[in-house]
A and B are shown apart, each in its own frame.
Chain A
């Protein structure tokens, strides 16, 4: 793992040890994709895709940012493209299956922590809490959700988020302020209920 840390931390990687790179970053990339998409299968597939893209475009990596940030940028772009395609698939499925068998694309089921030993009461409480918390992130627009996830779930700096999302630092901060404001409103609503 130490070797992997060196690979992702260095400015320019030569992809000599591709397996070590995947080993070092796969959890992080998967976690971000899952938080953004709420679809474990898509997150798994896109994590693989992220490393393939990185390998394919390895010559474009010039060390302007860290390898970790560069990988995150690829992941964010993949998630954005996936969301676009998913909207299209949703409409196609809607017309093909008018019975309403389509699951909500942001179903909270996909984020439920797996705990087969929990009691039914505890599971119910956890599920309610999960639904409340996930609604906060779910209702954010895509761009805000991306910067929210990178900042508060991955604890990346504003500059790193700017590099990963190809946005200016000021724009990242504006998105974060709006996201925090949305969370604030949501929390207020919950408290007033």
Chain B
């Protein structure tokens, strides 16, 4: 193999899943072998430093456990508070809806009065001999009749 290891082959090598061909290349190629060694060293350094950075004394871990337990206790309590708050909110909204939907007393009285007036108008319309719309025609007819009767009287007097 003349070319050096590609990305995938190099990755397989570092992951420890390389095949015989990759192993053979590493045996023969000084460049890839040196690179692989450097990469392994860098990764090993990373691991070591990450572990060192995460090291703390037992007080730190005990404090973390205590804080976790305290947060858990608060967390257990909060759902109950949420339920109570939700129930209270539902009650308030329901009450508000009921109050706004009930008719106001003054408005109810005004409506009743308007209904009475309308009923009276209907009653008086029903009591008429003719519809209100024909009132002008009736007046004309009455005037014509009175004029005719007047002329009839004059002619009888003569």
Looking at the complex, which of B64-72, B124-132, B136-144 is the stretch in contact with chain A? B64-72
On chain A, the number of residues with a Cβ less than 8 Å from chain B's Cβ atoms is: 44
Complex partner residue of A112 from B7, B51, B53, CB under 8 angstroms: B53
Range, interface on chain B: 20 to 34
In the complex the two chains form, is A137's CB within 8 Å of B46's CB?
Answer: yes
Verify if A97 is at the interface (C-beta below 8 Å from B). Answer: no
Complex partner residue of B11 from A44, A55, A136, A176, CB under 8 angstroms: A176
- Tell me the chain A residues, 105-160 only, with Cβ under 8 Å from chain B: 110-113, 129-130, 133-134, 136-137, 149, 151-153
Verify if B75 is at the interface (C-beta below 8 Å from A). Answer: yes
Verify if B49 is at the interface (C-beta below 8 Å from A). Answer: yes
A161-189 toward B: CB 8 Å interface, digit per residue (1/0)?
Answer: 00000000000010011101101101110
- Overall SS of chain B's interface: helix
Please give me the residue from chain B that is nearest to A112 by CB atom.
B53
In the complex the two chains form, is A183's CB within 8 Å of B64's CB?
Answer: no
Taking Cβ atoms with an 8 Å cutoff, the residues of A that contact B are 18-19, 22-23, 26-27, 30-31, 34-35, 43-44, 47-48, 51-52, 55-56, 110-113, 129-130, 133-134, 136-137, 149, 151-153, 173, 176-178, 180-181, 183-184, 186-188, 191
Taking Cβ atoms with an 8 Å cutoff, the residues of B that contact A are 7-8, 10-12, 14-15, 35, 38-39, 42-43, 45-47, 49-55, 61, 64-65, 67-69, 71-72, 75
